[in-house]
């Protein structure tokens, strides 16, 4: 008998609660976007004012925890990259926003670029999505999408700095 998707699971399970971004992944519309929005809000209020090295450490710890959490949930409920699992979108959004200034335009640009990369899945995002399975695979495509968005943002930031003299 095939297990039900996470949408039918009890949010009292701390692993399901974490994997679904405190239930954001249970949104009937665009759960990945809702999870990414949670990531952007958390970045804005909790991480954006911290030192870059502290932010990198938080992202590294969240990535390691995410691989373990998502892997356990996926195995327990026999799931692949279930739309309700949005821990990966949260971390991917943090990566996209890792080094940008805390301003609304940069935050919106990072959020949008991450969503575009996550949805369109350009190479190597598409490769990771297909080739790597389990918790690492679920997390890795969003990590790469976040890194691609961060590279675009950093290039734009560098161009603005050069243009401003």
pLDDT digits (tens, 9 = 90+) for 81-93: 899 999 999 999 9
The arithmetic mean of pLDDT across residues 1-9, rounded, is 52
What was the pLDDT predicted at 81?
86
**Integer Cα distance of 44 and 49 in angstroms:** 8
Q: Is the pLDDT of residue 118 over 70?
A: yes
The arithmetic mean of pLDDT across residues 21-41, rounded, is 96
Classify residue 46 by its DSSP letter.
I
**Integer Cα distance of 101 and 113 in angstroms:** 15
Identify the CA nearest to 15 among candidates 82, 80, 66.
66
What was the pLDDT predicted at 3?
42
What was the pLDDT predicted at 9?
64
Q: Is the pLDDT of residue 111 over 50?
A: yes
What was the pLDDT predicted at 7?
55
Residues 6+ apart with CB under 8 A from 146: 91, 92, 93, 94, 95, 96, 98, 114, 117
């Amino acid at each position: 008998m095939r297990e039900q998707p996470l949408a039918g699971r009890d949010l009292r399970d701390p692993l399901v609660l974490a994997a679904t971004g405190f239930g954001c992944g249970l949104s009937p519309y665009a759960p990945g976007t809702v999870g990414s929005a949670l990531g952007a809000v958390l970045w804005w209020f909790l991480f954006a004012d911290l030192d870059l090295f502290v932010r990198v450490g938080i992202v590294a710890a969240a990535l390691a925890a995410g691989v373990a959490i998502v892997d356990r949930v996926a195995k327990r409920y026999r799931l692949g990259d279930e739309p309700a699992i949005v821990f990966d979108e949260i971390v991917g959004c943090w990566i996209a926003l890792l080094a940008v200034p805390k301003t609304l335009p940069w935050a919106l640009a990072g959020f949008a670029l991450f969503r575009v990369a996550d949805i369109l899945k350009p190479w190597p995002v598409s490769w990771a999505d297909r080739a790597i399975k389990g918790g690492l695979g679920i997390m890795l495509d969003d990590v790469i999408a976040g890194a691609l968005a961060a590279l675009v943002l950093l290039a734009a930031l560098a161009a603005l700095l050069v243009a401003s003299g």
